[in-house]
């Protein structure tokens, strides 16, 4: 049985009767014992398997003594940068420092280093020369092989080599971490643990690696970006736990990095067991004086119902981390967790979310996936739903109905992304109807990301006609229900495939909707996504065909300004973008124009305003598009932003 939080000091460990710990978990996040945090899941899973774990959260990376709190652990150190890649945590897509860190006490920034997993690993190795170091978490998982690093603008080695660690547990680590622990407990040397699925290890020889696919060497990839593109495609095709092959990358001085196939997905009962562990469900009380840890607020009364995603958006790392095979918890498990909310004095009757990476995925795309894996050369939803795709919302509806029928629950929201093309593929409108009737409050955020089919094709997203069909159906259902509820589209600028022509197309679409997003997410090249590979190499690794990619800061600003053309601060950028795109026909006073010409060539001030009153832009009668999508008009206070993609749920 758990005795409250896991120890953060040796005194706390002794109060449990321990004179040493088996593992020390070093995390870039503050210690939050909640199942939306990777550290909590891994430490509680180890505890459930009989291991004693101490936690060192956000150690001072300039002080070697900060990781010596428990002395040398009996079996090893576990190292994670936290729930987010530390570089994404620190910097915006324009490489500007973020002011806050939701995973730190009081939201304070700067409590973890850049490239935290590697820094922590080297810090530990300075003090403990031989103690096993196991890396995990999203940062290590997506940097397990050679990868493009946007912040340094270069190809970097496997994090295994740069961190001083012995092994990486990648993907969802519940299986692999217990197998590693059991192997160490049995007396095996860390160098001999080369056989566990979901791990990456170093080797000096390939004499015993007889079944691997050999990727281009690091030196080859560094010399030729196309070699990296080819390597990435092989990695992508081998990211399935049933069909994935062992992969090998060679480095100078006869060093090999070997990636074993991914771990098998958890069964429903196994996933239920993970969420049944005795989490404290909040941050450590030592953070109370700092105001707590902000990241808990959004997930405290939310339910993680699934993991994995067969949507395969090119810009998302889920395929590489959680995989394409969806796993879900039972209704009973979700109800059991919801009942825990009722004892919390902060619970006001609102369940904030029931979902995961994609809310309305509750089962594998087809039964074949659980025996033979996901098709390596075929997508489940792109360019259109596969004929074998099993579309069924009944299980998810049953969960939502049961939760909202509980007397203590006032409303159950669905805030995870709803995959609208999957919803449309269901011939039964019941899910969309009940979503609108019970689980939306004024606005539903969805992620079409763009309107240009050329860009959407590169993104791996459905064509714009699919989004418009969903928009119209959503409007019809709300009209039938007598509700005024709007769609808020997430939009992304500067994605590979987007020239100024496509950016203008997106601006015109926003004009026709009478909608200007106050925030627009620039494409962010994060490690190990298909889109990041395109950004670095200039080709689509699946076809090796060239893909145009906006790279300069100025061009990105032009594309973003076009979407926010009504903002007077963007006037000069909009004019420049329209001139470069050959679309000066959009400068004028007509209803189709985006901006007015500058009066008298002076400063823009009021003359730079767009052509639609105080908000700028022509807002059509009823606020809708020319195609009658009035339901899409939203207030200026509505914000888009980076698509959530379950960042708090991307656990190791």
Number of H helices, E strands in the chain: 23, 24
375 marked ligand binding residue: no
CATH number of the domain that 60 lies in? Answer: 3.40.50.280
Q: Out of 130-139, 222-231, 316-325, 466-475, which region has the weakest mean confidence (pLDDT)?
A: 316-325
Residue 154 belongs to a domain: yes
Of 543, 576, 595, the position where a domain reaches its end is 595
Domain identity same for 490 and 406: no
Q: Out of 211-215, 252-256, 284-288, 615-619, which region has the weakest mean confidence (pLDDT)?
A: 615-619
141-177 per-residue burial string, b: 16 or more CB within 10 A, e: under 16: bbbbbbbbbbeeeebbbbbbbbbbbbbbbbbbbbbbb
What's the pLDDT at 321? 93
333-352, pLDDT tens digit by residue? 999 999 999 999 999 999 99
Q: Based on the structure, what is the number of domains in the chain?
A: 3
pLDDT at 625 over 50: no
Residue 102 belongs to a domain: yes
What is the rounded average pLDDT of the residues 553-560?
96
Cα separations (Å) of 136 from 79, 166, 408, 464? Answer: 6, 11, 38, 38
CA 486 vs. chain centroid, Å, equals 25
Which SS3 state, helix, strand or coil, does residue 91 take? strand
What is the rounded average pLDDT of the residues 363-375?
93
Domain identity same for 452 and 418: no
Cα separation, 644 vs 415, whole angstroms: 9
Domain identity same for 551 and 490: yes
Residue 151 belongs to a domain: yes
What is the rounded average pLDDT of the residues 513-518?
80
Cα separation, 126 vs 268, whole angstroms: 42
Residue 245 belongs to a domain: no
Instruction: Give the domain range for residue 105.
Output: 10-201+254-259
Domain identity same for 409 and 493: no
pLDDT at 644 over 90: no
Domain identity same for 410 and 548: no
What is the rounded average pLDDT of the residues 184-207?
97
First CA to last CA distance, the chain: 23
Domain identity same for 22 and 142: yes
pLDDT at 621 over 90: no
Of 546, 575, 595, the position where a domain reaches its end is 595
Beta strand 255-259 pairing with 23-27: unpaired
Beta bridge pairs of residue 443: 441, 486
Residue 642 belongs to a domain: no
What's the pLDDT at 642? 34
* Token code pair at residue 28: 């870039």
Residue 290 belongs to a domain: no
Domain identity same for 425 and 515: no
Residue 601: band (very low, low, confident or very high) from pLDDT cuts 50, 70, 90:
low
* Token code pair at residue 127: 């003090």
Cα separation, 50 vs 34, whole angstroms: 20
Residue 368 belongs to a domain: yes
CATH number of the domain that 434 lies in? Answer: 3.30.750.210
Give residues with Cβ within 8 angstroms of 4, minimum separation 6: 280
CA 299 vs. chain centroid, Å, equals 15
- Radius of gyration from C-alpha coordinates of the chain: 25
313 marked ligand binding residue: yes
What is the rounded average pLDDT of the residues 607-621?
38
pTM for this model (two decimals): 0.90
| Mean pLDDT for all residues in the chain | 91
Domain identity same for 358 and 371: yes
pLDDT at 10 over 60: yes
Residue 510: CA atoms inside 13 Å, Cβ hemisphere, count? Answer: 32
* Token code pair at residue 283: 């941050």
Domain identity same for 406 and 453: no
Percent of the chain with pLDDT over 90: 87
Of 595, 624, 643, the position where a domain reaches its end is 595
Domain identity same for 435 and 487: no
* Token code pair at residue 5: 């939080």
Domain identity same for 452 and 405: no
316 marked ligand binding residue: yes
Domain identity same for 170 and 71: yes
Residue 612 belongs to a domain: no
pLDDT at 636 over 50: no
């Amino acid at each position: 049985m758990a005795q409250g939080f896991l120890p953060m000091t040796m005194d706390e460990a002794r109060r449990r009767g321990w004179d040493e710990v088996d593992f020390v978990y070093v995390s870039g996040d503050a210690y939050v014992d909640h199942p939306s945090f990777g550290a909590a899941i891994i430490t509680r899973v180890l505890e459930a398997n009989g291991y004693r774990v101490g936690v060192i959260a956000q150690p001072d990376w300039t002080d070697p003594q900060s990781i010596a709190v428990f002395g040398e652990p009996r079996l090893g150190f576990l190292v994670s940068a936290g729930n987010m890649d530390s570089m994404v945590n620190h910097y915006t897509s324009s490489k500007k420092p973020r002011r806050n860190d939701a995973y730190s006490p009081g939201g304070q920034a700067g409590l973890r280093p850049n490239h935290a997993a590697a820094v922590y690993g080297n810090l530990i190795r300075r003090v403990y020369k031989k103690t096993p170091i196991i890396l995990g978490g999203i940062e290590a998982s997506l940097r397990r092989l050679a990868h493009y690093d946007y912040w340094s603008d270069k190809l970097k080695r496997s994090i295994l080599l740069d961190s001083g660690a012995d092994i990486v547990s990648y993907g969802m680590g519940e299986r692999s971490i217990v197998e590693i622990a059991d192997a160490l407990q049995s007396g095996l040397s860390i160098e001999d643990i080369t056989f566990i699925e979901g791990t990456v290890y170093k080797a000096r020889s390939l004499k015993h690696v007889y079944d691997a696919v050999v990727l281009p060497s690091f030196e080859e990839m560094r010399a030729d970006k196309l070699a990296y593109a080819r390597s990435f495609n092989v990695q992508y095709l081998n990211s399935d736990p049933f069909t994935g092959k062992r992969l090998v990358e060679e480095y100078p001085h006869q060093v090999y990095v070997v990636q074993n196939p991914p771990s098998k997905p958890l069964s429903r009962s196994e996933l239920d067991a993970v969420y049944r562990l005795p989490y404290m469900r909040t941050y450590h009380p030592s953070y109370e004086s700092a105001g707590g840890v902000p990241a808990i607020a959004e997930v405290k009364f939310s339910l993680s119902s699934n993991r994995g995603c067969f949507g395969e958006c090119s810009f998302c790392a889920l395929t590489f981390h959680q995989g394409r095979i969806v796993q879900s918890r039972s209704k009973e498990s979700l109800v059991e967790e919801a009942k825990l909310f009722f004892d919390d004095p902060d619970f006001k009757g609102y369940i904030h979310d029931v979902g995961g990476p994609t809310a309305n995925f509750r089962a594998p795309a087809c039964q074949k996936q659980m025996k033979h894996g996901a098709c390596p050369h075929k997508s489940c939803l792109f360019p259109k739903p596969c004929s074998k795709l099993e579309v069924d919302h009944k299980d998810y509806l049953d969960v939502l109905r049961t939760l909202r029928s509980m007397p203590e629950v006032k409303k159950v929201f669905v805030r995870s992304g709803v995959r609208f093309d999957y919803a449309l593929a269901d011939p039964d409108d019941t899910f969309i109807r009940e979503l609108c009737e019970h689980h939306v409050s004024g606005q539903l955020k969805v992620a079409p990301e763009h309107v240009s089919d050329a860009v959407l094709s590169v993104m791996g997203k459905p064509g714009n006609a699919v989004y418009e069909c969903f928009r119209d159906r959503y409007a019809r259902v709300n009209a039938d229900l007598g509700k005024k509820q709007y769609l808020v589209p997430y939009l992304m600028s500067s994605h590979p495939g987007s020239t100024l022509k496509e950016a203008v197309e997106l601006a015109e679409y926003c004009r026709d909707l009478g909608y200007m997003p106050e925030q627009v997410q620039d494409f962010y090249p994060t490690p190990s996504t298909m889109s990041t590979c395109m950004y670095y190499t200039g080709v689509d690794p699946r076809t090796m065909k060239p893909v145009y990619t906006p790279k300069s800061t100025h061009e990105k600003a032009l594309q973003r300004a076009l979407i926010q053309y009504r903002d007077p601060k963007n006037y000069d950028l909009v004019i420049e973008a329209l001139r470069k795109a050959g679309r000066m026909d959009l400068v004028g006073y007509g209803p189709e124009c985006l901006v007015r010409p500058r009066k008298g060539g002076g400063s823009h001030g009021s003359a730079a305003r767009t052509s639609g009153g105080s908000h700028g832009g022509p807002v059509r009668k009823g606020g809708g598009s020319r195609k009658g999508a009035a339901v899409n008009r939203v207030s200026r206070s509505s914000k888009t932003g980076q698509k959530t993609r379950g960042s708090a749920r991307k656990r190791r």
